[in-house]
Each structure stands twice: as structure tokens, then as C-alpha cells.
Structure 1
Amino acid sequence: MGTPLGDFIRAKRDGIQPESLGLPSRGRRRTPGLRRQDLATRADVSVEYLTRIEQGRDRNPSPTVVTALADALALDSSERNHLRYLAKITAGVCAVQIRPVAPAREVRPAVLRTLGLLEPGIAIVTNRLGDILARTGTFESITGETGLLEGAVPNLTRYVFTDPRARAFFLDWDDIADEQTFDLWLAPSLENLEWLTGELTPVAGSEFTRRLNQHVVPRRGILRLEHPAGHTLRLLRETLELPMDEQQLVVFHPVDAQTDQAVEQLRQPHGRLRSIS
């Protein structure tokens, strides 16, 4: 049985062309990417040890080995942080039985008051599992006809992978799908992650599990939305971490005048702050 750490290393290795690291081409191979032998040599570890890590038989590599693997794979800063995080949680779950636990969804009154001050702007309070815990009236206005806010507890991750309307709403659906699956690894606890993945996996299918196991570090560029009313929205996202709550306050800023005008047309005349708490 593999581990998140092993899956990530293997996925990165498969995606690297040897020539990009200054290594000679080995000609046509049955499998793509960097050979295990080449990665082991670059990281100064044995092939047998690297195999054990990738296959999940060694779940506690030292920080020195993790750093050497990051260097050998030429990871950027975001990917290095993710690799260290996966090493930490892989070591932590060794021989531990995880019992799924639903995440807490309460939003503190002070956070709700802060969100209210952002009206009539576009903002939400969410967690890394994708639960939309509270939102401004304007956010509700620009998403109300898309199906995103349907249900007692709207969840962006579930919406992206199970609602066909999401592919039309998010013009860069693949990027959003990568973001949502990546953020699951940063969930408040492994129990919370297990709860959502256990709920999602049967209905989201291979598109979800493939992305989750590849650990694609997202780009998080401009958010492009195609509203059912015919408006194209381009929004910048500013995410403010709420570490005490393990939540995030996300503010969306229109990029251009066209988006400003579209938001103004979509905004409900009497939009009010909404919270699921």
C-alpha cells in the first residue's frame, strides 16, 4: 500500500524529462519520466531505499533525505513545502487507524462581523475541505443560479466534481479541480480529510482520485466564471488565513470594468450576509 509521500514522489518523477535535468535521453522506454535509478543517484540514496519510500514500505525518511529528494526533483518552493508536509503526515499515520470525523463548521461572531463589513463586496468564509460556511450577499448573487449554493452545507469540492454545471461555470475547470484536491491535503486533520474523501470518492469517480493522488500544486491564477445569465467574470482572489479557526476568509476583486459592471447587474438589491452556522 502506497503513501501520499510515495505517490507524490512517483508522480513528480514520472512527469520529468531527463533532458530537463541535464541527463542523457535513454531512448524509448516503457514508462515515462525519470528513472528511479537516476533520481536515486541525484538524491544520493540507494535505489532500494527510494523504492521503499515510493511503495510506502518506509514511512519516515529523515529531513535530510526529504531535502535531497526535493533538490533531485528540482521542486519549486510550493512543491517543497508540500513534500515536507506529506512526509510529516505520512510518518504520523504509520500504523494508525483513522476514523472519519466531520469537520466543525461554526464561524465565530467576530469573523461574521468582519465579513459583513465587506458588503457589498464578494467574499466567503470557507475551510480547506471546501465548505462554504458564510458568504456575502453579492457572492450569493453571482453564484445563486449555478447550483453551487444548493444544499444545507454548500461544498465547493463536491460541486466541482459531482455537478455538471461546474464545468460550464468555471472556465478553467481543470485548474479549479487541482486547487480543490490539493487543499484537501491541508485539511485541519486527517480525520476530516478521510471523512470528505470517503464521501466524495464513490460519486466523483476517477477524475477526483487521480488528481488527489497526483498532488498537483495549483497555480491559483485569475478566477474566470461564466454566469448562466451570460456574463463573463474575471476575479482576483485574496485569501486571509484564520489559523485559530482553521478557516479562510476569501475576498474576490473584479479585475476589469466589464466584471465590475456584470457584478453590479447581478447583485441582489437587498443582498444580506448568509452563514450556515
Structure 2
Amino acid sequence: MTTSAERSYLQEIQEAADYLRSRLGGLTPKIGLVLGSGLGDLAEQVENATMVDYHDVPHFPVSTVEGHAGRFAIGMLEGKPVIVMQGRFHYYEGYSMKKVVFPIYVMKQLGVEALVITNAAGGLNRGFAPGDLMLLSDHINMTGDSPLIGPNHSELGVRFPDMSEAYNRDYRTLAKYIGTGITGPDGDPLRLQEGVYCGISGPTYMTPAELIMLARVGGDAVGMSTVGEVIAARHAGLKVLGISCITDMAVGEELEPLTHEQVVAVANRTKPKFAALVRGFVREVKL
């Protein structure tokens, strides 16, 4: 039996999708992008874009974090219709995990099949350096929560979604191929890594002992987003490419104080390479 709370969640998704559909101008976006801290400027490159503030969309929460503009850009990128989230919602902002992933289900309702999800992350792998980009090969959910806890909405996905390939292998192969030809404004080549992302609840940065633990269990990068959204995306049947911008080194034995402003500053410096990688992927991906 479907409860009133379940009906309400499904109805809210539909109402938000209906509103956005009215702003699409006849477009059916097949690719959705979620842009993390300091990476939102890519939304400005969407052509003939319609900008929709989150607070205008029924039932949407609002981004409260610096570096997250809090709006959609809907239009064309590399000749393909896209819907871009310029900023996301975080569990640490006080939103439930179901509310955090709400936009993923809305994008699915609009016709999105492929999701590019990005974030700023600390590097746990000693072979990484600030300014590197990391393709997510897998993740470890350390948030202590999941957007699928509670009764399953069969209209959205199956009760027990498979996560054996949370991040699409073919998408990673394509991104690596594209990345080989990318250089920055000064001619420096893109350093494109691959690894496991550890998602934590935040909002505190982690202690040295916690970071040492994450590295020992197989983490290559750590951040405060992404895992819930990817769980929801796979629940909804979306294929996912995940990209982390390594903004700092989170090596427990050598940890130095860190601020959000430092994170955003490194992400800003990495934006040209990041934009080239994402645009190349959008151009070349087959749907």
C-alpha cells in the first residue's frame, strides 16, 4: 500500500518536473550535469540558456553554500540538449537524503539518461596533487545514510538497485581518451586520475586519524556529496560519469589546516581543464 508520504514525494517530483518542462522550450535534455563547489561556471557556457532559480521550482530546496549558485541552466552544449545544476544540496545543510537527491529524480522525469556529477574533493592518494581531476571508479558511502531507506517507490526504481558498476565503465574510458588531449591556458597537460571517492556527511573536515582510516580502506579522495545522488541515479536507471576536482591533499599524517575558500580557489584554477573534459564528453558520448 502506498502511504500519503510516498504519494507526496512522488507528486512533488512530478510537480517540479512539470514546472521545469514548461521552461524547456521544447527541448528534451538527455544529459544532466551536477556542478560542485567552484565548478559552476560551466553552466555559463550553455548556449541559448534558460536560467531557472531553484527557489522558483516547486518543492526544491535552496543551495546555501558559497560556490553553489543555486539555479538550472537549460539549453545546448556541444550541440546536445542539457540540463545543468549550477550548485547542489548537501546532507550537512540539514536536508534529508531524500531531499538532497530530489533533483536527480526530477531530471529523470525530464528525459535525462546520462548524468555527469562533479565535486571538489580532498586527495587521499599520495600520487595525487591539487588541481588534478579524478574519474570516480567507485565510492564508499561513509555518510551513515541512504536516500533509499524506507518504503521503496517502485515508480522510481527497484527495491534493491545494483551498484556493481555505479560509475559507468564505458563513460570512464571515453573520458580518459578525451583527457589525453587537454592542456591548460599555460600549456600544462591535464593530470587525469582514477580512483575511489569516500563520501562523508560533513560539514567538518576530517581529523588526521579519520583520513588515515579512509586511505587504508581504499579511498583515493574524500568529499561531502555525490554518493547519495549516485545511489539515486542508479536507482532511476541513469548512467553516471563522476569527476572530482582534487583541491587539496587530505593525507592524515601530513594534514594542514584547510578552509572552504582554499577549496574554491583551487577549483577555480582548474576550471578550464575541467570544462574542456566535460564538454568533450558531452560532445562524444553516445546515448
Common topology (TM > 0.5): no
**Normalised by the size of structure 1, how large is the TM-score?**
0.31
Decide which structure has greater helix share: 1
**Normalised by the size of structure 2, how large is the TM-score?**
0.30
Decide which structure has greater strand share: 2
Indicate the structure (1 or 2) with the bigger Cα radius of gyration: 1
